[in-house]
Amino acid sequence: MSRPRRIARALSASGRFLFATALTGACHPVSPERPVPPQRPGATWDTLSIYAHPAARDTAEPKDSTSELAQAPPPKVLAVHIGSVLPTTGSPAFREYSRLIAEGIEVAASSYLGSEGNVTVNVQDDAGDPAMAASQTREIEASGAIGAVGFLESASLDAAAAARLVDMPLVSPTARVVTQPGVYTLSGPDPIAAAEVARYAAQAGFKRVAIVNSRAPESAEEADAFAAALTAGGIPTAGRFEYDAGQTSFGEPLKAAAEALRGAEIRALHLGPDDTLHVETLEPVALFLPVPPEDVELLAPQVTFFGLDTLGIQILGTSAWTDATVLQDVDSRHTDGVVATRPVGAGPGAEGYERFKAAYESHFQRTLVSPVPALGYDAAVLLLEAARGGARTVDAVEAALGAERSVAGATGIFSVRNGRVYRRTEVVRIEQGRFVPVVF
Q: Which fold has domain 1-54+77-188+344-424?
A: Rossmann fold (3.40.50)
Sorting pLDDT into bands at 50, 70 and 90, what band is 78? confident
pLDDT digits (tens, 9 = 90+) for 304-352: 999 898 888 999 999 999 998 899 899 999 999 999 999 999 888 899 9
Chain segment 173-227, per-residue pLDDT in tens: 999 888 889 999 999 999 999 999 999 999 999 999 999 999 999 999 999 999 9
117-125 vs 44-51, strand pairing mode: antiparallel
**Mean pLDDT across the stretch 261-271?**
82
Domain 191-317 has CATH 3.40.50.2300: yes
Q: Which residues contact 67 (CB under 8 A, 6 or more apart)?
A: none
Residues with Cβ < 8 Å from 430, sequence gap 6 or more?
Answer: 321, 322, 327, 335, 336, 337, 338, 339, 340, 436
Q: Where does the pLDDT of residue 402 fall: very low under 50, low under 70, confident under 90, or very high at 90 and above? A: confident
Dump pLDDT digits (tens) for 132-164: 999 999 999 999 999 999 999 889 999 999 999
Topology agreement, domain 1-54+77-188+344-424 and domain 191-317: yes
Between 234 and 56, name the one with better pLDDT.
Answer: 234
What value does the mean pLDDT take over residues 266-291?
Answer: 78
Find out whether 375 and 411 touch, Cβ atoms under 8 Å: yes
Write down the domain spans for the chain.
1-54+77-188+344-424, 191-317
Cross-sheet strand order for the sheet of 407-408? 407-408, 413-417, 420-423
Lowest mean pLDDT among 177-186, 223-232, 376-385: 177-186
pTM greater than 0.95: no
Which pLDDT does position 18 carry in this prediction?
35
